[in-house]
Each structure stands twice: as structure tokens, then as C-alpha cells.
Structure 1
Amino acid sequence: MRDGLSLLAPEETVLAAMIEGWEQQQRSRMLANLTIERRTQIVRRLVVFTNDYPWRWSSADVEEWTTHLVESGAAHSTVRLYQMAASLFCSYISDVRYRWHEVCERHFGVHPVQIFHEWNMVVHRSDYEGRPGNRPLTRDELQAFFDYCDTRVNRVGASGRKGWLASYRDATLFKVIYAWGLRRREASMLDTVDWTANPAATEFGRYGALSVRHGKALSGGPPRRRTVLTTMEWAAEAVDEWVTEIRPLYDSDQLALWPTERSARVGAVSISQRFAEYRDAVGLEKHLGPHCLRHSYATHLLEDGFDHLFVQQQLGHSWGSTTAIYTSVGTDYKNNALRRALSRAFTTASTDEEN
């Protein structure tokens, strides 16, 4: 803003200029437009909550805002995300290089300061910050769950009781949720034609990529689409067997990948109910839901060495911080990563000494 200008509505004009300047700073860092928009929305919400302008904010406002967020039911990670966005804005407007202190002193007699500090911001409370019911399963827990799925199919089939086909369907459904990192609705709405080959991974045949057409929508927007690449050969084989040999037994002319006996789709509620039944049979905690399979997928991919950005795109996350909430790598993974780093360091040091 130019010196000497007389502003008709100084508060609103300066606030708008601050936000515009902050957005420009973030664009210069090549941040995604969606990231910038969300951060701006958070700052505007804080303005509304405090009913005051940023140059008059105080640390007490942070504590009142945080308390409001917590009482409104916001998750620990969400509160931290909000605080971080507002903290970045305060860092920008209090940086003397941008001269907002001069503008505010001239028009309002005060200057903006950083109000977010280590002592009034939430911290990482544990390695895993998602809701307890969504925690990733260990590989042993996951194997026990899938073993029960398969055992149930065999037991129902051997008994001659009705339900073998549904048991087979549910077992394959849970494997697909895990192996492609899907939400309940995403899995429920799949069709048989959503699978395609991936020229870069021909070993998976026609099941090299999955088109997810009913991804989680942004507020007020349509369902988001994404393509999830296949990473597990055993899962592609399970889907192939289901589609080509088992599913035709339903004698349905619908495209739904998971049909019912009445030619409808298996719904999200049914998925949760069946998961709870299997979970209890295996002895897992009762707060776990089917979404933990999606979290397990993200964690296990990272443990297997997949790039963090690849995992983020597979899950359809706009923000890498969301993916971080999903994951909780195990001690073995951490120790292996440490061992690889130390091995490279000592190998390099030995080579230098020899030279």
C-alpha cells in the first residue's frame, strides 16, 4: 500500500490487502490454489470469531479460539492445522520486510505481532493422531482378519448353509478396500468396468488401475474422481477370481461389483456391520471400523518404501498433512530406515578414507 493514501474504510482495506499479499507470497512458493484458499478461509474464520482485526489480536484470542474449536468437536489434528495456518498468516503480517507494521502504526496506532507460540499451540500427542477407530492395523492383525474372512467362506460352504456367496463377496470386498485404500462409499459404488490395465504394470493384467468415481467431495462439490494404481499382485488375483468366476453366480445384469441377492449394491452401512462382526470374531478393539483398512494401506505402503507423494495421490488427499495423520509406521520400519542411512554413511566414510 502506498504511503500517504487516505483510506475510506481503512480496516477492511488493510485486511484485504494483507490477505492478498499473503496469498501472493504463497503463490510465489508454488503452493496449490486449494491450499491457499483453505488457509485464507481459516484466517477469515478467526477474524469473524474474534470480531477484531489481525493487528489487534492477542495470545488470549488463540486460547479462546482453540477452546471453541475443541468444544465444537474438531479433531486434535484439525485444531493443529487451523492453528498452523493462522500462525503462518501472523508470521507474514509481523515480518518487517513486508512493512505491515508501518501501515498499521500509521492508520491504527498499533502493529501486528505473532500470537501463536509453542506454549499456546497444540502439539503432536502421539505417533498416530487420527481417530482411534481408524488406526492402522498391524500386519499380523490384518492377516488374522483376512484369515477369518477366508475361513468363514470355507466354513459356510462346507455346512451347506445359505450365505456362501455373500461371505465370498464380503471377503473380497474387504481385501479391495485395503489393497486400494478405499473409503466405504468408494468401494460400495464400484462397477466391474472400473478396472483397467496399466501399461507400466502389465503383471496385473486388466486390474492394473482402478477408477474411483465416487471419492469424497469437497464441501458443496460433486464427488471427486481419481485413479488408484494397483500395487499388490495377490489383490489383483483375488479380484480377477471374483469377477470372472464367483460374481457371475449372482446372475445379475447390473454392473455393480458387489451385488446383493436382490440385485442391489452392498451399502456403506452393511459394510460397517459386517466388518464389526468379523472384527469381534477376531478379537480386535470394538472401536475399530472399516476405515482402518484404508489407514493400514497408507501405512504399509510407506513401510514398503513407496514415496510419500505417491501414497498421498493414491489416497486422493489434497494435503500431505492429511496423509501423515493416516500413517503410523512401525518400529521395524524405523529401525530398517536407520540401518540403511547408517550403512550409506559408513560406506561413504570408508570410501573416502581409502581414497
Structure 2
Amino acid sequence: MVERWTVPGSAPALFLAGTSRLLRPDEQVFEAMLEGWRDQQLSRNLGRSTIKPRLDLARRFLRYTNDFPWNWRPMDVDEFFADLRGERRAHSTLRSYQSSLHMFCDYIADPRYHWTTVCENLFGTHPAQVFFEWNTATHTTDYEGRPARRALTKQELQDLFDYADDQVQIARRSGNKGWFAALRDAAALKTAYAWGLRRREVAMLDLADFGSNPHAPEFGVYGVLYVRWGKAGKGSTPKRRSVLTVFPWSVRVMSQWIEQCHDLQSSGARNSALWPSERSPRVSKEKLGARFAEYRDALGYPDELTLHCLRHSYVTHLIEDGYDPLFVQQQVGHSHASTTALYTSVSSDFRTRTLRKVLDDSITRALALPDSGADS
């Protein structure tokens, strides 16, 4: 009989004590492992949106190997990720998958969680780590994104916004009831660029998230945007930051939307979400991303461009316009200047103008010099 020395009530304790019914022990142990790993991650204060994809990935790896974790082998890792490479997955995606499965194997192979003892008793073997430095991807570069995921040029950006406005007018003239959604999404896309926001940050904005900036009174009540749903670090709550308004035109866009358009289709109490939806309190980030993709395709822009490129464009255009890099870094909420640098993709137009200015200045200075070949 196995001695009850594990934590009372824990999943391993139930298996070791013989108090858990084992109709299908392999499946029951695997699901209990996932539950335990889920609880471990929750205790680290990780979000459920982070944990669920990891659990799903572990189940997917099991289906691929057609075997349970205590029988996994390094060659299973090789074959699984070789197949994923055939699906043209991004390098960063593959490395993320490997990292997640590595953590799962660390958990079930750690003797402090007693899954090794459970498996030895039930199956005559135990789980072990199968992800190693020599069979997993390494992080070799600072930036692993696709090269085509770049900032839009100012002309491309203007064309995008003009196209979005045109869709509103076309829908209204034709009596299409989707005109309001088109109007909302056009304003949302402009907002994403005007304040350098991520998808979730845009979607989660509320009416109360704007305030005045005493150092820029010309912007009125839209001088500052308070972002409450910034990207969180591991195990932390969403980061908050304040973004100062820099584009005068963005104030006109926001005042028109909030003061004239926001409540046009609202019924009853005023919706506090900045971007209301007909079927839910607020539009989802997926809907905003799909709208951007629709307009991108219509304009013939590369498929790799996403809504996040508007944030890249914001950083790039501020740098091009001469804003201090530290100011830009604080505006977008980056902890490190190196991160902001990765977002900066100075346009060829800007480089051409810079080169032309340097050459013209050189020629001007040369013409101003005394003639070195004068008669002596």
C-alpha cells in the first residue's frame, strides 16, 4: 500500500491513496496533470487567456504523438515541429509553442509535484523533459517579425483614412444600415494611429478615458488619453499610461464622434464604451482587425499589414517629425528604448528627403567657399 505523504486533496494524493476511480487511468492522469498545471499557472497570477492556449497545445501534442506524456520522446518533438515548419509557422510562434510544452514537461517531471511517483506506480515509467537546447528553436535576433509588417507611409495612411470615410458615405447614400458601424470603425482606426494604441487598448476605451492637458489647452478635453488596458507583464494586471495628444486633427475626429455620433444608435442609458456595438456593449478587437484587413485588401496593401501597423506608423512618423525618442517611448508605454527602436521603420521617403537635404547643404557650402584655384 502506498503511503499517504502527498498534500491532502491534491490530484496526485488521490491517485496514490487509491481513492480516485481509475476506469481509464491514462486519460484520468493526463487530465489531472493539466488541471494541476493550470492551478500552478493561476498561482503565478497568469491570465486565463494565457493558460488556455497552453493547455490546448499540450492536448494537441498528445493527439499528434498518440501517446501520453510519460511516454513522450525527443524524436516526437522533432517530428511535431518539423510538420509545423511545413505549415509555414513563424519562428517566434514555433519558439513560443516549444517554450509552453517545455514548461509542461518541467511541471510533470518535477518530483515535488509527485507525478513521477504516480506514473511509476500506475504505468511503470515516469514523465521526463523532452525539450532541450539541441532540439528547440533559439532566440537569435531582436526582431523576428515579418519584414512586410512595417509602418505605413503617410500617403498610405491618408489613403486608408480617405477610403474608410468613403465607405461611410457610400453606405449612407445607399441606405445601408451598416453605415454606423463603418463610421465607428473609421474613427477607431484613426484613434489607433493618433495615440499609438494596440488592438485591445483601442477596443477597451471608454468615454471617460479622455482628459485635458493644461500645457496644451488648445486640445480642450481631448488633450490626454488614459489607457487602462495596456499590455500586461507576466503575472501582472494591465498596465496603465497616459498618452498626450499630438495631432490637432485627432481632436476634431474624437469630438465629432463623441459629441455628434456616439449615441445615434444607442437606446436607453448611454453606453460608456467608446465604440458601441449593436449586439454587445463594445466592438471587439477582432472586429476592428477585420475592418482594417478589409480596407487593406481593397487598397492592395500587403497581406502582412495588420491593425498593429498603425501603432508602428505612429512611432515612425513621430520620429520622422523630430520628436524626442524618449517622449515617443513613454507615449507608447515601452519599458526599454530598444523596444521602441524595433517599432521604428523610417520610410524611404524620409531617408530620401534627409539625404537630399544633406547633399543640397553640402553643395551650398561648397559654392560659398572662395575659389581655391584663384591666380596667385
The TM-score by the shorter chain falls in which range?
0.5 to 0.7
Distance 1:318 1:156, change over 3 A: same
2:243 paired residue among 201, 207, 228 = 228
| 1:291 counterpart letter in structure 2 | H
2:300 paired residue among 272, 283, 286 = 283
Query: How many residues get paired?
Result: 239
Distance 1:352 1:314, change over 3 A: farther
Structure 2 counterpart of 1:168: 183
- Mean Cα displacement is larger for which, 234-243 or 280-289? 280-289
2:287 paired residue among 270, 273, 276 = 270
Aligned mates of 1:229, 1:346 — CA distance in 2: 40
Structure 2 counterpart of 1:302: 319
* 2:175 pairs with 1:142: no
| 1:301 counterpart letter in structure 2 | L
Structure 2 counterpart of 1:209: 224
Q: Report the CA distance between 1:75 and its aligned residue.
A: 4.5
Aligned mates of 1:129, 1:338 — CA distance in 2: 29
Structure 2 counterpart of 1:196: 211
Aligned mates of 2:201, 2:183 — CA distance in 1: 19
Aligned mates of 2:364, 2:174 — CA distance in 1: 60
Aligned mates of 1:343, 1:140 — CA distance in 2: 25
Distance 1:321 1:74, change over 3 A: farther
Alignment of 1:1-355 (within 5 A): 75=92, 130-132=145-147, 134-251=149-266, 253-338=270-355
TM-score calculated relative to the size of structure 1: 0.60
Q: Report the CA distance between 1:254 and its aligned residue.
A: 2.2
SS at match of 1:210: strand
SS at match of 1:227: strand
Distance 1:183 1:140, change over 3 A: same
Aligned mates of 1:351, 1:275 — CA distance in 2: 51
Q: Report the CA distance between 1:340 and its aligned residue.
A: 6.0
Check the 8 A contact 1:303/1:329 in 2, yes or no. yes
Distance 1:274 1:123, change over 3 A: closer
Check the 8 A contact 1:181/1:294 in 2, yes or no. yes
Q: Could you list the per-position Cα deviations for residues 181-233 of structure 1 after superposition, in whole angstroms to 9, with x for gaps in the alignment?
A: 00010001100111011111112111111000000000111100000111111
| 1:230 counterpart letter in structure 2 | T
Q: Larger helix proportion, structure 1 or 2?
A: 1
- Mean Cα displacement is larger for which, 276-285 or 153-162? 276-285
Q: Report the CA distance between 1:123 and its aligned residue.
A: 7.1
- Mean Cα displacement is larger for which, 239-248 or 138-147? 138-147
Check the 8 A contact 1:172/1:238 in 2, yes or no. yes
Q: CA RMSD in A?
A: 3.2
Distance 1:134 1:345, change over 3 A: same
- Mean Cα displacement is larger for which, 179-188 or 281-290? 281-290
Q: Could you list the per-position Cα deviations for residues 246-289 of structure 1 after superposition, in whole angstroms to 9, with x for gaps in the alignment?
A: 00113252210000113511111111111111111111112221
Q: Report the CA distance between 1:160 and its aligned residue.
A: 0.7
Distance 1:73 1:220, change over 3 A: farther
TM-score calculated relative to the size of structure 2: 0.57
Q: Report the CA distance between 1:131 and its aligned residue.
A: 3.2
Distance 1:352 1:202, change over 3 A: farther
**Unaligned stretches of 5+ in structure 2?**
1-84, 96-138, 371-376
| 1:267 counterpart letter in structure 2 | S
